[in-house]
Amino acid sequence: MNIRKNAALATLILSTFVLFGQASAANPPANAEELIAQHLDSIASGTVRAGLKTRVVQGPVRFSILNGASGSLEGKAAIVSDGKKFQVMMKLQNNDYRGEQFVYDGDKDKVALSTAQKSRSNLGNFVFVQNAVLQEGLLGGALTTSWPLLKIDERKPKLSFGGLKKLDGQELYDLRYRPKKNSDLEIHLYFDPQTYRHVATVYSLSVTQGLAGDTPVASGTGLPNAGSAAGGNFPAGGTAGIPSSTETNQARQQQNRYLLKEKFSEFTTVDGVTLPTHYDIQFTQELQTGSSTLSDWDLKGLDIASNVTVDARNFDVK
């Protein structure tokens, strides 16, 4: 008799989950406003969200080059936020490439120099030039209190709801984000259609001229090459003095392509707040010269604490 009761209970629980999933699919958001409302509730209730002032996120980070280079660098990561102020820091134990430090102090954005040559990395240079990534509070997603969807009425971006779109083979709700101030970036936010959690942000840019300060990658290291300073987008030694050819002219007419992708997963709930504990950053740079790099910063097992005391010095670049 107990076996039958347990089987019936299991069937009832399974049916409840199935019906919940069907209800979610049957009532999809009709516009950006409905999607954002569902997303915010996936983080916490309105009452809990109103009481969230600061947050500190900490954990390990692993940096690697995904196209050709072998090996990786280990380090520590910290994401600290207080209202609109936030810092994303990834510190690596390496003299040639020390990691990244991105800061928005509520007024200005700052990107630290990160290499032995006292220059920014390819990722750092991209974020420095395309400062909407920081000024809009987008970097780090919902892990920071600066997440723009929390204060959409203050940010006033132009939003376009794209319905279900595929990203990396998965169907997700697509929300295009256009900052109030003009930006060359195309920015898309992606949400799980069942939970409405924010699971990815994709920033893309295609330009005929490279970003100011673009540096190609030193062979086998993924680190900026000091020899590129004079050549802009060209490898060490540049192309100065080389006669123009049809192939050269065609290369110059091709575009430089940049793609920054943030992915969020392994969500957990602490004190009524549901946030990801796995944060992955991928940056792809394809230059006119044919050089291409795909770099990855993987932050796993993140520890999250809200409403803790935050030192204002966290928002200065050291």
| SS3 sequence of 94-160 | CCCECEEEEEECCCCEEECCCECCCCCCHHHHHHHHCCHHHHCCCCCHHHCCCCHHHHHHHHCCEEE
For strands 72-82 and 109-111, give the pairing.
unpaired
**Which H or E run includes 76?**
strand 72-82
Is 225 a member of any domain? no
Residues paired with 102 in a beta bridge: 88, 111
Is 221 a member of any domain? no
Alpha-carbon distance of 57 to 80, in angstroms, equals: 6
Is 175 a member of any domain? yes
What Å distances lie between residue 179 and 86, 131, 133, 135, 205, CA to CA? 18, 11, 10, 9, 15
Is 5 a member of any domain? no
Structure-token match 């992606």, residue found: 190
Alpha-carbon distance of 313 to 105, in angstroms, equals: 10
Residues 235, 237, 240: CA angle, nearest 5 degrees:
105
Domain that residue 198 falls in: 55-215+250-306
Q: What are phi and psi of 295, to 5 degrees?
A: -110, 150
Number of domains within the chain: 1
Alpha-carbon distance of 50 to 45, in angstroms, equals: 9
Alpha-carbon distance of 179 to 154, in angstroms, equals: 11
DSSP 8-class letter at 253: H
Is 36 a member of any domain? no
**pLDDT in tens for each of the 318 residues of the chain?**
454 444 444 444 444 443 344 344 557 899 999 999 999 999 999 999 999 999 999 999 999 998 867 789 999 999 999 999 999 999 999 999 999 999 999 999 999 999 999 999 999 999 999 999 999 999 999 999 999 999 999 999 999 999 999 999 999 999 999 999 888 999 999 999 999 999 999 999 998 776 655 544 333 344 433 223 222 332 222 323 323 344 444 544 578 999 999 999 999 999 999 999 999 999 999 988 888 899 999 999 999 999 999 999 999 866
> According to the model, what pLDDT value does residue 20 have?
41
Is 292 a member of any domain? yes
Q: Can you give the CATH number for the domain in which 110 is found? A: 2.50.20
Is 49 a member of any domain? no
**Which H or E run includes 201?**
strand 198-207
Is 75 a member of any domain? yes
